[in-house]
A and B are shown apart, each in its own frame.
Chain A
Amino acid sequence: MPVSVLVLFCSDQAVSGCYKSAVQVRVHFYSYFKDLAGLAEVTESVAPGSRLEDFLQKLFLRFPKLAAMKKSALVAVGIDYQAGDYVLAEGDEVSLFPPVQGG
């Protein structure tokens, strides 16, 4: 687990309390998003109650090459397509799918 990420979001609260309440989310990148992100998957810690939209904003800051595609990505949690107001829960699997055009 990347501790540095935890510290980032914990900076304004007691670290010990934060460890208990942090929500772990696994992120999967598909197709050429893997190339843009430089990896296929990553685990992130988010504050409880975080909305998908806000989480994605942070993710795009971490993976700036993906940021250009933020309005064109299909985002799913588990096997369901989700809108930005979805509240992330412990163990959620977030998948980012790019549009492809080939035929």
Chain B
Amino acid sequence: MQLNNDEIRRYSRHLILPEVGLAGQKKICSTSVVCIGAGGLGSPIAMYLAAAGIGKIGLVDFDTVDFSNLQRQIIHGTPDVGHPKTESAKATIQRINPNVEVVLHNTRISSENAMEILAPYDIVVDGTDNFPTRYLTNDACVLLKKPNVYGSIFRFEGQASVFAPHLNGPCYRCLYPEPPPPGMVPSCAEGGVLGVLPGIIGTIQATEILKLALGLGSSLVGRLLLFSALDMKFRELRLRPDPQCPLCGENPTVTKLIDYEMFCGITPPPAVPASNPDEVSVQEMKKALDNPALGIRVIDVREPDEHQIAHVKGVPLFPLSTLPRQFTELEPNQQIYIHCKSGVRSMRALHFLREQGFKYLKSVKGGIGAWSDEIDHNVPKY
């Protein structure tokens, strides 16, 4: 391949690096990368790879841009809200560098399509936001013998590595052989994340991709880089392949892609949601609040920080974290409706209170989010 005059000007700061030069830039321009997830990590990854001149960038995402993404997903802007993430990301990439070929996979990656999606690319980068897709990406990469440039983030901390058993490194399963029990690990949507954090971890992933493309330096193969924004500290762990690894070990038992939702203990929601006798709707919650004569107590089990962001007027706070101390203030024979953000913690509170001898409990389905959607739009969603 040849670089034209415009490209020579565009990539000049690479070309004058002796370690890159014309030969290196040509390597970058002929490398293809597929990015799973066009979100927090995918944003800086795709933008820097585009700027660097990576020849072909594949983007896999099925989601649309939401207002709550904009605090960190800098490839998308306010006018993109409601549009598919892949299309919004493509527009940004092409504004940065029209020489890049962008391939959109506007679909949910699954065991059925993963091999086909990933096979045409040189390097895979994991910017997903859930365990099933992380195991799926890992397994597909090991089976296809492609480097998997891994990053993940939570609150103020992040980690990055390059998984590549074919380059004598470990895979994701060597580190984390079993997924955590479902519900044990909060997602960013539940636990929050500092907006700049994916910028740091994603940029590290982009750096590793460029090094792999160039064949330069020492990669993160066999090392896990851990970052804490609060301490502003990087730590590093030396990893090694696990000979017992079911995927890349000596006697592999995983030889093709499996059902990752099941592996991670996630049961798919029933096609028609069955009505749960322990739940009431937000309409019923409103009826209870509007008619004190009904004698129904409504309580909020979210944490005080969340109450400050949004609350339903007149509903007292009994945070789930302090409920074991506070529940004695409630009357075990009274009818109580419990709400939280989305209906998960209120169900946990219900089970806790039931164990304490409370008899007439209901969890408000959909929590304050459903209240905002269906009863009062002035209550902000977060």
Contacts and interface: CB of A to CB of B under 8 A. Distances in A.
Interface in B95-128: 126-128
- A-side interface size class: 20 to 34
Contacts of B239: 81
A101 B131 contact: yes
Contacts, number: 94
Interface in B125-184: 126-131, 134, 151-155, 157-159, 175-181, 184
Contact of A74 (B176, B193, B235, B238): B176
B153 A100 contact: yes
B159 A100 contact: yes
B91 to A, nearest CB: 21
Interface of A: 30-32, 68-69, 71-72, 74, 76, 79-81, 83, 95, 97-103
Contact of B185 (A30, A83, A99, A103): A99
Given A71-B177, A72-B179, A74-B176, A31 B238 contact: no
A102 B193 contact: yes
B188 A74 contact: no
Contacts of A72: 176, 178-181, 184
- B-side interface size class: 35 or more
A79 B239 CA distance: 9
A103 B198 contact: yes
B41 A103 contact: yes
Interface string B188-209: 1001010000100000000000
B187 interface: yes
Given A74-B175, A101-B131, A103-B129, 10 more contacts: A31-B155, A32-B186, A68-B184, A79-B236, A79-B238, A102-B152, A103-B42, A103-B151, A103-B152, A103-B153
